[in-house]
Structure 1
Amino acid sequence: MKLALKRIHTYFYQYSVGFFFILFWPVLYLLKKRPWLYKYINKIRQFIALISSAISGIFYRATFEQPIDWSRTYVICPNHTSNLDVSAISTNLRNNHCFMGKAELLDHFVLRYFFTTIDITVNRESKMSSFRAFKLASEKLKDGVSVVIFPEATIPDAYPPVLHSFKNGPFRLAIEMKVPIIPVTSMDTWKVLWDTGKEFGSRPGICDIFVHKPIETAHLTLDDADALRDEVYAIIKKKLPQA
């Protein structure tokens, strides 16, 4: 019975997201035709994430290791355990940003809109697709748009989730573009909704993320990419047991 209620909660949350997306569709449609106004799409996404979560009893709370200068551009690297990670991170960023995600998300009713406007899709099985995605990410950074990349490239299959090894892409990108990288630890979103919620459902609760201090990359070269990757991995891994 408890599992059945948790699955009902997942459907309620998902339909809430869909409802508010449709409610804002006229505005989103107009913005899609005007790329110079794309930054406002983020504002609407943040509102949809907050209100659809709140009426489902889900709330997001961020702790910052130190104040962030949001006038700067960053590569943001969180671990990934839940579909709620995007909402938890998006609602706590105070600058214009985009997400990089797998191409399969284009099949999602809501996410397709964002991945055909402000976000970046990548087919990780294709080297050409990866090249194009990171080229676009470089252009975004040049334009002052921060890029959020999940370095695990997937949500772990294990439950409870275990931190997977990190891909090199986001760290090479940060070094090439000479922008700081911000590690973000998703502490317990998986306890509220693991993965998509299809298997174990979801429940009301607070999702905590910890935003670590930025790591400067201006002094680094591409030869340092592995070391930077390992440094960010160690930071997040050390923080996770405190959840």
Structure 2
Amino acid sequence: MKLILKKVHTQIYRYSVGLFYFIFWPFLYYYSRNPGRYKSMNKVRRVWGFISSMVAGITYNIDYEQRIDWSKAYIICPNHTSNLDITAMSLAIKNNICFMGKDELLDGVVTRLFFQTVDIPVNRESKMSSFRAFKAASERLQQGMTMVIFPEGTIPDIYPPELIAFKNGPFRMAIEHKIPVIPVTSLNTWQILWDDGKKLGSKPGVCNIFVHKPVETAHLTLDDAEALREQVYNIINQKLQQA
């Protein structure tokens, strides 16, 4: 019975996301037509994510290790255990953002518009697709946008989820562009909704997110990419272990 109720809740959440997407669609479509309007598109994304979650009884508690200057561009590296992580990052990051995600999101009803415009799709199995995606990400960074890249590259299949090895890409990019990396620990989104909720359902609750202080890269070279990757991994893993 408990699993049935949790699956019913997942449907409530999914319908809420879909309903408010179509309510906000005229604004999202208008802002998506011009890259100069992507900042406004992201503002609508935040409102959409917040309201659709709240209707399903899901809220977000976001703590910051220190005050962050959001006038600067960053590469955000969160762990990834839930579809709720997208909304959590939209709410936690206060400047103009761009997500990098799997190219299957181009086929999603509520994700297609974003990954055709502001966000960047990537097929990690294709070297050419990865090259194009990271080239587009570099251009976004040069325009002053903040990139959100989940360094695990996927939501782990293990339940309860465990932090898996990070990819090198975001850390090489951070060093090449001398952009600080901000680790973000999603502490319990998987307990509210693991992955997309199809297997175990979901429930109302508070998602706890911790935004760590930026890790500077201005003094690093590409030879330091693996060390930077491990540093960010350890920061997130330590916070997860503490929780």
Question: Shorter-chain TM-score: what band?
Answer: over 0.9
Alignment partners' CA distance in 2, 1:4 and 1:205: 17
**Structure 1 match to 2:65:** 65
**Structure 1 match to 2:47:** 47
**Structure 2 match to 1:165:** 165
Q: What is the deviation of 1:242?
A: 2.6
Aligned residues: 243
Q: What are the within-5 Å matches in structure 2 for residues 43-192 of structure 1?
A: 43-192=43-192
Q: What is the deviation of 1:93?
A: 1.1
- Alpha carbons 2:182, 2:211 under 8 Å: kept: yes
Alignment partners' CA distance in 2, 1:43 and 1:24: 11
5+ residue gaps, structure 1, are none
Alignment partners' CA distance in 2, 1:153 and 1:22: 29
2:89 maps to amino acid: I
Alignment partners' CA distance in 2, 1:31 and 1:58: 27
**Structure 2 match to 1:210:** 210
What SS is found at the alignment partner of 1:220? coil
5+ residue gaps, structure 2, are none
Q: Give the TM-score, by structure 2 length.
A: 0.98
What SS is found at the alignment partner of 1:125? coil
Query: What per-residue deviation string (whole Å, max 9, x for no partner) do you get for residues 30-81 of structure 1?
Result: 2222221111110010001000000100001111111111011000000000
Between the aligned residues of both structures, percent identity stands at: 64
Give yes or no for the alignment of 1:8 onto 2:12.
no
Q: What is the deviation of 1:163?
A: 0.5
Alignment partners' CA distance in 2, 1:39 and 1:67: 21
Query: What per-residue deviation string (whole Å, max 9, x for no partner) do you get for residues 74-95 of structure 1?
Result: 0000000000011111111111
Q: Give the TM-score, by structure 1 length.
A: 0.98
**Structure 2 match to 1:200:** 200
1:5 maps to amino acid: L
Alignment partners' CA distance in 1, 2:21 and 2:91: 16
Alignment partners' CA distance in 2, 1:189 and 1:86: 11
Alignment partners' CA distance in 1, 2:145 and 2:23: 27
Alignment partners' CA distance in 1, 2:179 and 2:225: 13
2:66 maps to amino acid: Q
Q: RMSD of aligned C-alpha atoms?
A: 0.7
- Alpha carbons 2:38, 2:96 under 8 Å: kept: no
